[in-house]
Homo-oligomer: A and B are copies of this chain.
Amino acid sequence: MVSMKDVSNEAGVSIATVSNVINKTKYVSEEKVQLVQNAIKKLGYVPNAFAKGLKTKRSGVISLILHDTFNPQYMSLVNSVTKTAQESGYSVMIHHSDRSVNKEKEALMNSVSNSVDGIILDPVGLKNEYIKQILQQNIPIVFAGLSIRGINAPCVLANIKLGTYEAICHLIKTNHRHIGFITNALNTNLSKESFEGYKKALEDFNITMQSEYIKTNASSHTGGYKAVTSLLMLSSPPSAIFVADELMTHGAIEAINVAKADADVELIGLTNNEWSNLVKPKISVISLPTSEIGRLSTEIIIDMINGIKPNVMPKEYLSTELFIKNSDAHAMHINTEE
């Protein structure tokens, strides 16, 4: 491996001068700059990040820890984080916690051990004691997608409550009064907040919530299928259904197809997958601002690394978008911050 010392020998200058040329830390005469640059090129010198990090305590690496990469939406998160980071000269290390608190802990430890400059965490659950230890290490952390209670760190989230509210309002305005709501066990912020939005919309329009229209124990493909099927079998079935998860939306579509009920029921799902435009029956969707979440999280973490306090604490909500079927443009796009 060719080191600074080799370069300094080749160029006939001191190691310090080489370092100053590379990092532009001090003025070096044009003559020596040339000498050094030629030597670097000739020898194919590449700086050693270990040695540099050992001195500076900085790695130029941001750690991205994802809890569920099965969901296709995560690609745009990975994308935007990586791009934003690269633009600022950072590299991204990616870990999967795979819905396991233990793996999350491992990923966090690994991040500490690798001296990453900052961590973007999409947490597994509502708590992980180990996270507090990270904060004590003084390594910046921001939460993406989910928040963790009791932890004072910035947090970038989709405003799913407002998104759901908008979607339900749209349905009501297009004369739906019997609206189904399907989600998983209401044990995540996402589903809980989505349900809040649903309730609020009904309230605002003075519509009584009917418990038989609410299915809160669905999950994944099959769950969506079963939930919709049972809704359609009610004596007075809903004329519209909101589904708060991408996979469950799949199942919902199939159920409608099987029941040949596409003329009778309006569906709003959750996805930003392009394929959803081509699906029959046509559905409307709300899409999470995954890409923006990634970009903003990264910008915040970089600010924190540089000692700049993020001005929005502790939570930053990004709005979802509602795409109405048969319409290229999206219907509403309300931007809120708090």
Contact = CB atoms under 8 A, between A and B. Distances in A.
Given A115-B48, A279-B280, A91 B91 contact: no
Contacts of A102: none
A46 B112 contact: yes
A326 interface: no
Interface residues of A, number: 51
Contacts of A96: 79, 82-83, 86
Contacts of A75: 69, 72, 74-75, 78
A49 B115 CA distance: 7
A94 interface: yes
Contacts of A44: 133
Contacts of A27: none
Interface stretch (A6-14, A269-277, A310-318): A269-277
B94 A78 contact: yes
Contacts of A135: none
A61 interface: yes
A67 interface: no
B61 A54 contact: no
A38 interface: no
Interface of A: 1, 44, 46-51, 53-54, 57, 59, 61, 69-70, 72, 74-75, 78-79, 82-83, 86, 91-96, 98, 103, 109-110, 112-115, 133, 137, 250, 253-254, 257, 273-280
6 contacts: A44-B133, A46-B113, A72-B273, A91-B110, A250-B277, A280-B280
